[in-house]
Each structure stands twice: as structure tokens, then as C-alpha cells.
């Protein structure tokens, strides 16, 4: 009766009238909801006991089926009741919020309202409309609904067609750039050229500018000034240590916690489609098993392709052609070739002594005086600033200079705060009391016309450096050549070339060939803990060798750089601007450079060219003629003997004909 209520009520009405067991079983078989074949099996049983056993088996099976059906029905009912309860509660909460004025529109309706106000193309709006329709069909508590909600919000927040108005006033832009930065003329010129083209054409493709230079030379800070000068929104993205390609292109929405790439996130932050986006430290990118982010940037930084940039999270092409990208790097060689080819490279040189003084006087000192609360209370004399630059900092940029100035101001602040004095005037003589002894020690250089020591020039990632080479000869030997000073393979090969040249041209410089066969040579580059490599020390190695073997001293005011060949030709080198800066810093007077580097003198700072004399050379004979100090008699005697032994040799007057280039 419990499992089949209708059947049970029918049987109960006939129970009092039936007294025979056979009739009772017939009545039960007639009312139970089973197939007629099952009922036929009961009718075919003749005896009462047989019919009872057959009916009992049928009823037992039906009871088990009915129990299972009942349990399922109860569970379904419980679930329906719970969903109905949640629905009722949700509707009540919604009604309460509407009464309080807290939620006038549903979430999907709010998305549709924002879509109507969105400035975007027709295809983009259709795509967002489809995603909103899909969001409506999802259950609000499902994980997929959360992903879809985040995706729609990202699409609606992106500035598809919203742009800021660029400044076209070139005079104002130039004033802002000059106000914020001293020097950096090439960078300012490039920005003003871009602005002039934009002003004339009312459009113009945004270039990809790459600022390359030593740390602390103002690469990052100039991007902020450019953004202000052009009236653009400024977004900075640091790429140092980025290894995952998804950081650039974004994650696909199938992943948990997916999000757009840094470029799209930067546009979302800026709120306009034409911001200035600084990609800082682009040379510090590194690839691994998750992909190569430098390869992912190829599309974003190509003006021919970035009009349809594809972010994996958006899955809709986005136009990056209006973004002004500026990238920074310390080492151009660390940037992959295809990526480097897409950028307009502007190299920032090391600052000269005068430039550092002007930067400190106009920018660093006022900034730190304000931060330390010492405006009007502390003054630094010109001699003090120059002494800080020369004696306490040695760098290509000005970061350590700013730290040292801050250290001086902190010590002055302590005196003023303790009541010792009301104001402080810092001079060069008082620096040692405030900062201690000078920290920059003089480098080992040939400053007094030494024999066997020549001043070379080297390029490093933080600017130019001097690279002296010294040679010693030991007569009691077996012709062995020793090279020390952490020299790389290329530099060791240059030393071998220098030795070969000296052996071939020994007679020209009064060197005994027999002595050269028996003596041992030791070539050394000081600061042995610092690795050194490259071919540009060839002329320095040869000059030091000839000086040591001939006894002629090398001029102490001459620095040199250049690669050599087996026949004594001098080949062009790189990094002339940085190397000339190092020669200027160390007080050199004459710099010997390869003739092929003569056009590079245009890039050398004007102050350096005013204080240095540049002599372009084509062969080693010109280098040795300019660098070695010969006695007049011995020099003329060697010249006559050289003419007798080699009548076809070209005269060494090319250096005089070429003349110094300043």
C-alpha cells in the first residue's frame, strides 16, 4: 500500500469480501502494475502453493524496484526543493536590493549597457555581444561564468577607439625636454623630428625607439619627459627577467587564472589606444621551455604587423600601431637580431665631466636638497661638485653621483638638526671630513713616457675604460711567449700577430733578430681578475712590444685602439665614442684611431673633441711613428738602413699627410 497507494486502496475495498486464498491471489494479480506475461505465469500455476510461490516472487521483485524508484524520487525532490529555495532567496535578495536602490540592472544588462556606450568597431561589438549572450546562459555559480565575466570586463575596459590628443607644439616640447635633461641631444632631436612629422601630416606611424647606453644615463627618465612633451599617457613595463611568452601574448582562456599579456594590460591601465609605452630592460629577456618572449615581441614591435596584434586572452586582433614604443637596453648585443632590426637604435653616451657637473647642479642637487629639507640651508661649491665627480665616483651615468651628494647632505642635516650650525657651505677642502679619503684611485697607466708600457682603450657595457699593456723581455730564455691578465682567445691571437709583426720588421726599429729568437717575452694586461677580450688591442700590443725590445719609450699622453692584420694594416673597431671618453677622462692628449673610424668622430662629444687630438692611421708604421719617442740620430740612422734594405717600402709620411682630426 505504501509503494503503490492506488493499488493498495483497491485491494483494501475487497479484502473483507474475500475469504478464499485463491481468489485473494487472483485479485492481487489483477491489480498489480505488471506485464500480462507475468500475470499469465500466475494463472498457469494450478495448485495454491505453486501460485503463492510464483506470486510471492513477483511481489518481492516489484517491491525492490518500487523502493529504488521511491528513493530516487525523494532525492530528486530534495534537489528541486533546494534549487527552488535558492531561486526564491535570490529573487528576494534582488527585490530588496532594487528597493534599496543598490542594483538597478542585472550583471548581463549592465554589460549590454556598457557595450552600447563602448567606442569600438562593428566586429568587436559583435564579438562582445555574442560573449554577453553566452554569459546569460551560464549558471551564476559556475566556474565558467567567472572566466566569462572576467573576459567580458577586459574587452569592455580596453580603449578600442579612445585616444588622447597629441601635442603638436614643438617649441613647448623642446622646452620640456631641455628642462628635464641636460645633454642627450640625439634623443631630443629624434623626438622633435617625430613630432614635426605628426604636426604636418596630422597622422604618422609611431616609431619604435630603442635607447641603448650604460646604466644611470637617463634612459628610463627621458621616456617620462617624452610622454609629457607629447601629451601622452605613460605606461612602463619592466621586461627584466621575463621568461614566459604568455607575459607578452597573454594566457589562453582555457587555463585557470588566465589573464591578458603585459602590453594589453598596459593599454587597459592607460585608458587610451595611443599611450607612450616604455619597455624597460629589453636586453634582459630570457627564454626557456615556456617560450621565447623576445620572439613574441617581434609582432608587437613591427610597424608593419602590429596593426593586428593577437593576444591569446583576447582572441581578437588589437591595433598597436598608434602606440609609441620606447625600449631601453644596456647592451645592444644581447638583443636578438630580428628584434633589433625592428627598432630605431639611439645610443646614449657616457657623460663627460662637465655634463655630470651640470646635471648635478641643475637636477640632482635641487632634488636632494628638497628631499632632505635643506633648501636654503646647504650650498655646495663648484669645486666641491667637481671633487665629488673626480674623487668619489667613477661611472658612465650619474646614479652614484646622486648617492654621494645625498650622503653629503645627510651629514650636513645632522649638524643642522643637532643645533651645531644653522647653515653649511660645502667646499672641496671639507669633503674629506664629510666623506672620508678619496675613493677613486688612479689607474695604472703610462703617464711618464715608460718603456714597454702602452695605453690602450677598451669598451665595456658601462662605458669606456683605459687598457694599458706592459711587456717585459728576458734575454736568458728559449723564445717562449707568455700572455697573462685574463685575456680571451681573440686578444691572445692579437698578441701572436703583434709578435709576428715585430719579428718581420725588427730591423726597422733597431731590434736584433738573433736576440728576438732567444729571449722570452711576457705580455700582461693589469687588473688580471677582470676578463678582457677583443681584437682592438692589437696596435697597443705591438707598440708595447716594439718599445720594450727597442728601448724606445712610449709617449705617456697617447692612447690608441685598433685591430691589426698580419701585414700591419690597422682595421676599424667599435665603441669609439666610449673609448674617446675614457681617454679624455684620463687626461690623454692624442688618440690614435683607425682611418676607417674617421666618420665615427661625428658621434664623439664636442667637449672631448676640443680637448683631444685624433690621428687616423692606416698601418702600424704610422702608429709607432706617433707613439714612440725616438732619438733623432738613431732614428735617422735606422731610416737610412731601412731604405737600403727595403727600397720599395712606402714612406712613413702618411701620418703627416693625414694630419690630426679633431
Which residue is listed with cell 627577467? 241
Provide CB contacts within 8 A for 67, sequence distance 6+: 3
Contact 351, 183 (CB under 8 A): yes
Instruction: Please tell me what DSSP assigns to residue 54.
Output: H
Contact 592, 559 (CB under 8 A): yes
Relative to beta strand 317-318, strand 309-310 is antiparallel
Relative to beta strand 570-571, strand 463-474 is unpaired
Instruction: Please tell me what DSSP assigns to residue 16.
Output: T
Provide CB contacts within 8 A for 478, sequence distance 6+: 518, 520
Q: Which three cell numbers stand for residue 386?
A: 667637481
DSSP secondary structure letters along 511-561: --HHHHHH-EEEEE-S-TTS-B--STTHHHHHHHHHHHHH-PPBPTTEEE-
Contact 378, 369 (CB under 8 A): yes
Q: Is the dihedral of CA 188, 190, 196, 198 positive or negative?
A: negative
CA distance 228 to 218: 15
Which residue is listed with cell 729568437? 517
CA distance 494 to 491: 5
Could you tell me which residues are beta bridge partners of residue 649? none
Contact 347, 463 (CB under 8 A): no
First to last CA, the chain: 117
Q: In whole angstroms, how large is the CA radius of gyration of the chain?
A: 43
- Neighbouring C-alpha atoms within 13 Å toward the C-beta of 398: 28
Contact 578, 660 (CB under 8 A): no
CA distance 418 to 299: 60
Could you tell me which residues are beta bridge partners of residue 458? 465
Contact 192, 352 (CB under 8 A): no
3-state secondary structure of 361: helix
3-state secondary structure of 345: strand
Q: Which three cell numbers stand for residue 585?
A: 677622462
Q: Which three cell numbers stand for residue 370?
A: 628638497
3-state secondary structure of 277: strand
3-state secondary structure of 423: coil
Q: How many residues does the chain have?
A: 662
Task: Give me the active site residues, please.
Answer: 536, 579
CA distance 630 to 510: 11
Residue whose C-alpha is closest to residue 159's, from 278, 320, 327 = 320
Residue whose C-alpha is closest to residue 191's, from 261, 125, 264, 276 = 276
Amino acid at each position: 500500500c505504501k509503494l503503490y497507494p492506488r493499488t493498495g486502496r483497491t485491494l483494501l475495498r475487497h479484502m473483507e469480501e474475500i475469504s478464499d486464498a485463491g481468489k485473494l491471489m487472483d485479485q492481487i494479480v489483477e491489480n498489480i502494475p505488471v506485464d500480462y506475461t507475468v500475470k499469465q505465469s500466475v494463472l498457469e500455476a494450478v495448485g495454491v502453493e505453486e501460485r503463492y510461490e510464483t506470486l510471492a516472487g513477483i511481489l518481492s521483485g516489484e517491491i525492490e524496484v518500487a523502493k529504488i524508484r521511491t528513493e530516487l524520487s525523494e532525492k530528486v525532490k530534495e534537489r528541486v526543493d533546494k534549487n527552488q529555495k535558492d531561486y526564491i532567496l535570490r529573487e528576494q535578495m534582488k527585490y530588496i536590493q532594487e528597493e534599496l536602490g543598490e542594483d538597478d540592472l542585472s550583471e548581463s544588462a549592465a554589460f549590454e549597457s556598457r557595450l552600447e556606450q563602448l567606442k569600438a568597431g562593428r566586429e568587436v561589438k559583435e564579438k562582445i555581444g555574442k560573449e554577453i549572450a553566452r554569459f546569460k546562459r551560464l549558471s551564476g555559480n559556475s566556474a565558467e561564468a567567472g572566466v566569462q565575466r572576467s573576459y567580458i570586463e577586459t574587452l569592455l575596459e580596453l580603449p578600442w577607439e579612445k585616444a588622447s590628443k597629441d601635442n603638436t607644439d614643438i617649441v613647448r616640447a623642446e622646452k620640456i625636454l631641455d628642462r628635464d635633461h641636460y645633454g642627450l641631444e640625439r634623443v631630443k632631436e629624434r623626438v622633435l623630428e617625430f613630432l614635426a612629422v605628426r604636426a604636418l601630416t596630422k597622422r604618422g606611424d609611431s616609431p619604435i625607439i630603442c635607447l641603448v647606453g650604460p646604466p644611470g644615463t637617463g634612459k628610463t627618465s627621458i621616456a617620462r619627459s617624452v610622454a609629457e612633451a607629447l601629451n601622452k599617457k605613460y605606461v612602463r613595463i619592466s621586461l627584466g627577467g621575463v621568461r614566459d611568452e604568455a607575459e607578452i601574448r597573454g594566457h589562453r582562456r582555457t587555463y585557470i587564472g588566465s589573464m591578458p599579456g603585459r602590453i594589453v594590460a598596459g593599454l587597459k591601465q592607460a585608458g587610451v589606444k595611443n599611450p607612450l609605452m616604455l619597455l624597460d630592460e629589453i636586453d634582459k629577456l630570457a627564454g626557456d621551455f615556456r617560450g621565447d618572449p623576445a620572439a613574441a615581441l617581434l609582432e608587437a614591435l613591427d610597424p608593419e604587423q602590429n596593426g593586428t596584434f593577437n593576444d591569446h586572452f583576447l582572441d581578437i586582433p588589437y591595433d598597436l600601431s598608434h602606440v609609441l614604443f620606447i625600449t631601453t637596453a644596456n647592451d645592444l648585443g644581447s638583443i636578438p637580431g630580428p628584434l633589433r632590426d625592428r627598432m630605431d637604435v639611439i645610443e646614449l653616451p657616457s657623460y663627460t665631466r662637465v655634463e655630470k657637473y651640470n646635471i648635478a647642479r641643475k637636477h640632482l642637487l635641487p632634488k636632494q636638497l628638497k628631499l632632505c629639507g635643506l633648501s636654503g640651508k646647504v650650498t655646495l661649491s663648484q669645486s666641491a661638485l667637481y671633487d665629488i665627480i673626480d674623487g668619489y665616483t667613477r661611472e658612465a651615468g650619474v646614479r652614484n653621483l646622486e648617492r654621494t651628494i645625498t650622503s653629503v647632505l645627510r651629514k650636513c642635516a645632522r649638524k643642522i638638526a643637532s643645533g651645531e650650525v644653522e647653515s653649511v657651505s660645502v667646499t672641496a677642502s671639507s669633503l674629506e671630513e664629510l666623506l672620508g679619503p678619496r675613493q677613486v684611485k688612479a689607474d695604472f697607466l703610462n703617464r711618464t713616457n715608460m718603456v714597454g708600457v702602452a695605453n690602450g682603450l677598451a669598451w665595456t657595457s658601462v662605458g669606456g675604460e683605459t687598457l694599458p699593456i706592459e711587456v717585459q723581455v728576458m734575454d736568458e730564455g728559449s723564445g717562449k711567449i707568455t700572455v697573462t691578465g685574463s685575456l680571451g682567445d681573440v686578444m691572445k691571437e692579437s698578441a701572436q700577430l703583434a709578435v709576428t709583426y715585430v719579428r718581420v720588421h725588427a730591423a726597422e726599429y733597431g731590434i736584433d733578430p738573433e736576440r728576438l729568437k732567444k729571449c722570452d717575452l711576457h705580455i700582461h694586461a693589469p687588473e688580471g681578475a677582470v676578463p678582457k677580450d677583443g681584437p682592438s688591442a692589437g696596435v697597443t700590443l705591438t707598440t708595447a712590444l716594439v718599445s720594450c725590445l727597442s728601448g724606445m719609450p712610449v709617449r705617456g699622453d697617447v692612447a690608441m685602439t685598433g685591430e691589426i692584420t698580419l701585414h700591419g694594416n690597422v682595421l676599424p673597431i667599435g665603441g669609439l665614442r666610449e673609448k674617446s671618453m675614457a681617454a679624455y677622462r684620463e687626461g690623454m692628449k692624442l688618440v690614435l684611431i683607425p682611418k676607417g673610424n674617421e666618420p665615427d668622430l661625428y658621434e664623439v662629444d664636442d667637449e672631448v673633441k676640443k680637448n683631444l687630438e685624433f690621428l687616423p692611421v692606416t698601418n702600424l708604421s704610422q702608429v709607432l711613428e706617433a707613439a714612440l719617442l725616438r732619438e733623432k740620430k738613431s732614428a735617422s740612422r735606422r731610416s737610412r738602413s731601412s731604405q737600403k734594405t727595403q727600397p720599395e717600402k712606402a714612406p712613413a709620411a702618411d701620418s703627416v699627410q693625414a694630419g690630426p682630426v679633431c
